[in-house]
């Protein structure tokens, strides 16, 4: 519905203005909860109608912001050099992916929080989650001796959920420099194929 590109310059200008205003508001305000649509409209110097026509609803606005921020990372993953790019061996790429996600969430705490937790429907229905999951699952599948790659992918992603990251960074005051190796260490432990319990140990 609201995905049409308009050629009118006022429409374009307003869309930009809204995006910029929302971005500012979400990073400034403490909780994403208290950024209302009316706030965004006012900050952008625009009426609510404009805002809703451009983005459909609250989730649409969040999604637009999110995608914009995510774009560089996505690009680095799809067509970039190692350790994120597709040429990386799975054992190294999985930690790299999760580290990238973690850093992204750290850099966009409020926004990620608003998108993942705000609104009624679960984050697992968002199609961007679906993308992360199938990518991670595919990479995990290339690691021999690792069962349940779908489940594992879900759990690894759960380790980088916005509200957990927010809690660790905000409440527990864990700085990024400690959090990244903790996650990396955890991922390593998960990936370490245990020689004791192998089905595929022979050959």
Which one, 23 or 57, has the nearer CB to DNA? 57
Which of 3, 8, 30, 120 is the binder for its own copies (CB under 8 A)? 120
Burial of 81 (0-12, 13-18, 19+ CB in 10 A): exposed
- The CA distance from 147 to 140, in Å, is 9
Q: Is 7 in the site for DNA (CB under 7 A)?
A: yes
Instruction: Candidates 81-89, 102-110, 136-144, 168-176: pick the segment binding its own copies (CB under 8 A).
Output: 168-176
Tell me the Ramachandran region of residue 4: left when phi exceeds 0, alpha when psi lies from -120 to 50, beta otherwise: beta
Cβ-contact 78, 86 below 8 angstroms: yes
Which of 167, 176, 198, 200 is the binder for its own copies (CB under 8 A)? 167
Q: Is 54 in the site for DNA (CB under 7 A)?
A: yes
Residues within window 8-47 making contact with DNA, judged by CB under 7 A: 8-11, 13-14, 34, 36-38, 45-47
Task: Report, in Å, the least distance between residue 161 CB and its own copies.
Answer: 6
* Token pair 């989730």 in the structure block, residue: 59
């Amino acid at each position: 519905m609201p995905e049409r590109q308009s050629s009118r310059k006022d429409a374009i200008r307003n869309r930009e203005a809204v995006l910029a205003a929302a971005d500012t508001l979400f990073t400034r305000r403490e909780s994403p909860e208290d950024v209302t649509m009316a706030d965004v409209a006012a900050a952008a110097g625009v009426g609510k109608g404009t805002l809703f026509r451009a983005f459909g609803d609250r989730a649409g606005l969040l999604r637009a912001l999110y995608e914009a921020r995510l774009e560089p990372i996505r690009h680095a993953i799809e067509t970039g050099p190692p350790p994120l790019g597709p040429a990386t061996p799975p054992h190294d790429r999985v930690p790299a992916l999760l580290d990238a996600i973690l850093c992204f969430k750290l850099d966009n705490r409020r926004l990620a929080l608003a998108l993942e937790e705000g609104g009624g429907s679960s984050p697992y229905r968002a199609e961007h989650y679906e993308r992360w999951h199938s990518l991670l699952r595919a990479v995990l599948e290339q690691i021999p001796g690792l069962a349940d790659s779908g489940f594992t992918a879900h759990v690894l992603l759960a380790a980088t959920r916005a509200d957990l990251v927010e809690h660790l960074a905000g409440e527990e005051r864990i700085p990024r420099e400690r959090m990244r190796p903790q996650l990396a260490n955890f991922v390593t432990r998960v990936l370490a194929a245990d020689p004791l319990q192998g089905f595929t140990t022979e050959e």
